[in-house]
Amino acid sequence: MQFVFLLFLLLGIWELGIGSWQCVNAFFNDWSYQTICGTFNNPGPYSMFIVMILPIAWFYILRIKFFLVENYQYKLITILSIVYILLSFLVLPFSMSRTAWIAALVSCGIMTCLYISEHKRFVVGRGSMTVLICSLVLSMFLLYGLKKNSADGRLLIWKVSYSIIKENFASGVGSGYFSSAYGDAQEKYFRDNKGTEHEKYIAGAPDFAYNEYLQIIVEYGIKGLLILVFVISYSFYNLSRMNFQYRMPLIGMFVSLLTVAFFSYPFRNMYTCLLSSCIIIIVMLFSTEKACLRNMIPRYGFILFSLLVVSWKICSSFGHSGNVKTAYEQWALLKPHFDAEQYSEITSNYTVLYPYLKSDAEFLFEYGQCLSNIKRYTESNLILQEGLKHSGDPMFLNILGKNYQQLGEYQLAEQVFYKAYYRIPHKIYPLYLLMNLYKELHQEKDMLSIAYRIVNHKSKVNSLETEYIKNMVREELGKSFLP
């Protein structure tokens, strides 16, 4: 097991080294142009990866007094642990990931308490407990205030996700359909006037629930809940039977994973999903009970086989193997042509890639746009409706509505534009499309009503696009009142 810990530490130090170099570059250059994310494309999954390995290093720091009396492998791991902790103190604060900070505090705090209780007798006084609780509460408020809108956004996501669970608890909405179900549920939530003004302001179109427990139950229903209960309970049961020197770091890693899973999405990124799966398999299957060699070989062989199979499945599901990987590479070559609006030249290429990427919402959106721009509106709508099964983004509905408008299906276009608006009420583009629809239909009263809503709308971000739309609407209002 020490060899496994060594591998984890080396992986983490590699990522921390790259992150530290990025910190140094950011210090000597403009921070706004530098993201601390290692080899990841996102600081969130990067921080999760670092903090799930952190408990191994913390365990060896707690046992540093045994450094001189242990073997060379132990000494090497201890030295690497010191390096890991120092680099973590440098990188994690700049990642701005509250989830990683909380996971680090919770996992390392629990490990410290377990270590002290194992080696020393101690009594926690009432005063000490009060100080500890007050410190935790204060820390939570500070972390909440650091990115208040982001935290409120996650609370809204959890609230809407809970409403989905209540309606689909028996069977769930299906694997990979969370975003679509969420878009429908949030649209209903705001259409029924249940949302506050602040919730309308912070609403978005998330791909994840930012809580793995909620997302698993949303997608799989009661089956997902039972699997969660079994995995967590059996893991802690198996951990309780292990020797202390193996139990402690594994408890820390497992608690870190559970904490990260409560606030983020470790199973939605390939690398954090691989690490999370390794932790779960080791925690559930590893045993320190004495056994003869004949019994040990099948056990560890099964663990290794499980790791290989799960790793292959994860890589396949994220499109990093086989024909799907090739399709993603070909799609990447098409993107410059898509951005250059060369739709007629590349639509046939999208048609070829469709069988391999038909579950990717972004690909379906681009494909639907290509078809729409070359006036194949009916085919475009079929692709966009397929995309709506995998995404709750109202942009699908905007293009869908414009296609209906071009086909003369004005009532359907109106319905779709309203659906797009209620999904994210602080967006004004669906209202702008609706205003143009009423203008085409010569429904001046409805057009003016929507126009005034746009002009008086409080935007979340005063972007150039938003200002352009408002200026266009003001011009339209000016024309309407000219004699």
Counting the structural domains of the chain, the total is 3
The residue count of the chain comes to 483
pLDDT of residue 292: 44
Residues 130-151, mean pLDDT to the nearest whole number = 76
Token look-up 């290692």 returns 38
pLDDT of residue 291: 44
The verdict on residue 357 lying in a domain is: yes
Residue 28 tokens, joined = 């000597």
Q: Are residues 310 and 388 in the same domain?
A: no
Task: Give the separation between CA 122 and CA 109, rounded to whole angstroms.
Answer: 16
Does 12 or 293 have the greater pLDDT score? 12
Q: Are residues 243 and 345 in the same domain?
A: no
Residue 297 has pLDDT above 70, yes or no: no
The verdict on residue 75 lying in a domain is: yes
Residue 191 tokens, joined = 């259409």
The tens digit of pLDDT for each residue in 61-72 reads 998 887 777 788
pLDDT of residue 344: 93
Task: Give the separation between CA 453 and CA 132, rounded to whole angstroms.
Answer: 50
Q: Are residues 326 and 236 in the same domain?
A: no
State the average pLDDT for the chain: 87
The verdict on residue 361 lying in a domain is: yes
Report residue 263's pLDDT band, with 50, 70 and 90 as the boundaries.
Answer: very high
Residue 59 has pLDDT above 90, yes or no: yes
The verdict on residue 184 lying in a domain is: yes
Q: Are residues 76 and 86 in the same domain?
A: yes
Q: Are residues 7 and 83 in the same domain?
A: yes
Of 282-296, 309-323, 426-440, the one with minimum mean pLDDT is: 282-296
CA distances from 40 to 19, 50, 259, 414 (A): 10, 11, 21, 41
pLDDT of residue 293: 43
pLDDT of residue 121: 55
Which domain, by its residues, includes 272? Answer: 2-146+221-317
Q: What percent of the chain has pLDDT over 70?
A: 90
Question: Of 365, 395, 425, which closes a domain?
Answer: 395
Angle CA 146–152–153, to nearest 5: 110
Q: Are residues 33 and 76 in the same domain?
A: yes
The tens digit of pLDDT for each residue in 27-49 reads 777 666 567 888 888 899 999 99
The verdict on residue 404 lying in a domain is: no
Residue 192 tokens, joined = 């029924």
Task: Give the separation between CA 386 and CA 397, rounded to whole angstroms.
Answer: 12
Residue 440 has pLDDT above 80, yes or no: yes
Residues 243-265, mean pLDDT to the nearest whole number = 91
Task: Give the separation between CA 203 and CA 152, rounded to whole angstroms.
Answer: 9
Does 235 or 120 have the greater pLDDT score? 235
Q: Are residues 97 and 162 in the same domain?
A: no
For residue 383, the domain's CATH number is 1.25.40
| Closest to 154 in 3D by CA, of 111, 113, 206, 227 | 206
Task: Give the separation between CA 39 and CA 432, rounded to whole angstroms.
Answer: 40
Q: Are residues 264 and 140 in the same domain?
A: yes
pLDDT of residue 17: 93
**What is the SS3 string spanning the chain?**
CHHHHHHHHHHHHHHHHHHHHHHHHHHHCCHHHCCCCCCCCCHHHHHHHHHHHHHHHHHHHHCHHHCCCCCHHHHHHHHHHHHHHHHHHHHHHHHCCHHHHHHHHHHHHHHHHHHHHHHCCCCCCHHHHHHHHHHHHHHHHHHHHHCHHHHHHHHHHHHHHHHHHHHHCCCCCCCCCHHHHHHHHHHHHHHCCCCCHHHHHHCCCCCCCCCHHHHHHHHHCHHHHHHHHHHHHHHHHHHHCCCHHHHHHHHHHHHHHHHHHHHCCCCCCHHHHHHHHHHHHHHHHCCCCCCCHHHHHHHHHHHHHHHHHHHHHHHHHCCCCHHHHHHHHHHHHHHHHHHCCCHHHHHHHHHHHHHHHCCCHHHHHHHHHHHHHCCCHHHHHHHHHHHCCCCCCHHHHHHHHHHHHHCCCHHHHHHHHHHHHHHCCCCCHHHHHHHHHHHHCCCHHHHHHHHHHHHCCCCCCCCHHHHHHHHHHHHHHHHHCCC
Residue 379 has pLDDT above 90, yes or no: yes
The whole-model pTM stands at 0.88
Q: Are residues 311 and 330 in the same domain?
A: no
Q: Are residues 230 and 284 in the same domain?
A: yes
Residue 290 has pLDDT above 70, yes or no: no
Return the sign of the alpha-carbon dihedral for residues 228, 234, 238, 241. positive
Question: Of 317, 335, 362, which closes a domain?
Answer: 317
The verdict on residue 478 lying in a domain is: no
The verdict on residue 253 lying in a domain is: yes
Residues 86-97, mean pLDDT to the nearest whole number = 89
pLDDT of residue 158: 95
Q: Are 77 and 32 in contact (CB under 8 A)?
A: no
Residue 129 tokens, joined = 């407990």
Residues 91-111, mean pLDDT to the nearest whole number = 89
pLDDT of residue 257: 96
Q: Are residues 243 and 339 in the same domain?
A: no
The verdict on residue 125 lying in a domain is: yes
pLDDT of residue 114: 85
Residues 464-480, mean pLDDT to the nearest whole number = 83
Task: Give the separation between CA 210 and CA 153, rounded to whole angstroms.
Answer: 10
Task: Give the separation between CA 220 and CA 167, rounded to whole angstroms.
Answer: 12
| Range with top average pLDDT, 287-296, 426-435, 456-465 | 426-435
The tens digit of pLDDT for each residue in 313-345 reads 777 777 766 788 899 999 999 999 999 999 999
Report residue 25's pLDDT band, with 50, 70 and 90 as the boundaries.
Answer: confident
Residues 133-149, mean pLDDT to the nearest whole number = 75
Q: Are residues 373 and 225 in the same domain?
A: no
